[in-house]
Structure 1
Amino acid sequence: MQRKGERGSGGNDVERLLDELFATPPPAFVSRREELAAEAKAEGRVEDARLIHAARRPSLAAWAANLLLRSQPAESRRFLELGRALREAYRTLDADGIKELSDQRSTIVSALSRQAVALAREAGHRLSDAAQQDLASTLRAVLADQDAADRWAAGRLESALTPPADFPSGIAAADAPQEPTRAPTAQRSSRTGAKDELPERRRQRQEQLAQARKAVATAEQAGADASLQQARDRHAQARQQVTAAEEQLRTAREEFQRAEHEQQEAEERCQAAADAVTRAERAVQEAEQEEEH
Structure 2
Amino acid sequence: MRRTDVRDGGDDDVEAVLDELYALPPSEFVTRREERAAAARTARRADDARRIHAARRPTLAAWAANLLRRSRPDEAERFLELGRALREAHATLDPSGLKELSAQRRRIVSELSRQAAGLAREAGHPLSGAVQRDVEATLRAVLADPEAADVWATGRVESTLTPPSDFPAGAATAERPARKASRTPARAPSESARKKDEPAERRAERQRRLAEARKAAREAEERLRDRRTEREDAEAALRRARGHRRDAEERVSALEEQLRKGRAELERAEREQGEAGKRHRTAADTVARAQREAEEAAREVERAEKGAR
Range class of TM-score, shorter chain: 0.7 to 0.9
Contact 1:80 1:142 in 2 (8 A): yes
Q: Which residue of 2 aligns with 1:143?
A: 143
Partners in 2 of 1:83 and 1:270 — Cα distance? Answer: 83
Query: What residue in structure 2 maps to residue 96 of structure 1?
Result: 96
> What is the root-mean-square deviation of aligned Cα atoms in Å?
3.8
Question: 5+ unaligned residues in a row in structure 1: which ranges?
Answer: 1-6, 177-186
Percent identity over paired residues: 48
| Between 273-282 and 131-140, the greater mean CA deviation after superposition | 273-282
Please state how far the C-alpha of 1:281 moved relative to its aligned partner: 3.9
Which residue, 239, 245, 248 being the options, matches 1:246? Answer: 248
Q: Deviations over 1:10-62 (max 9, x none)?
A: 24611111100011111221111101111121122222211110101111111
Q: Which runs of 5+ in 2 are unaligned?
A: 179-188, 299-309
TM-score, length of structure 2 as denominator length: 0.73
Deviates more, 1:247-256 or 1:209-218: 247-256
CA distance in 2, matches of 1:263, 1:29: 54
1:274 Cα deviation after fit:
3.5
> In the alignment, what sits opposite 1:210?
211
3-state SS of the aligned residue for 1:91? helix
Residue 14 of structure 2 aligns with which residue? 14
Larger Rg: 2
| CA–CA separation in structure 2 for the residues paired with 1:35 and 1:100 | 50
| Aligned residue identity for 2:139 | L
2:8 alignment partner AA: G
What pairs with 1:75-114 in structure 2 (closer than 5 Å)? Answer: 75-114=75-114
Q: How do 1:27-176 and structure 2 match up within 5 A?
A: 27-169=27-169, 170=171, 171-173=173-175, 175=177
Q: Is the 8 A contact 2:22 2:155 kept in 1?
A: yes
Question: Deviation at 1:244?
Answer: 11
Q: TM-score, normalised by structure 1?
A: 0.76
When structure 1 is superposed on structure 2, of 16-25 and 128-137 the one drifting more is: 128-137
Task: Give a deviation string over 1:70-113, Cα, whole Å, max 9, x none.
Answer: 11111100110111111112222222221121111111111111
Contact between 1:66 and 1:152, CA under 8 Å: does it hold in 2? yes
Q: Is the 8 A contact 2:6 2:40 kept in 1?
A: no
Asked whether the equivalents of residues 101 and 214 of structure 2 are also in contact (C-alpha less than 8 Å), the reply is: yes
Deviation string, structure 1 residues 137-194 (Cα, Å, up to 9, x no partner) = 1100100111110111111111111111111122354625xxxxxxxxxx9xxx9x93
Matched residue count = 272
CA shift in 2, pair 1:172/1:83, >3 Å: closer
Greater relative CO, 1 or 2 (CA 8 Å, sep 6+) = 1
CA, structure 1 residues 272+24, in 2 after alignment: closer, same or farther (shift >3 Å)?
same
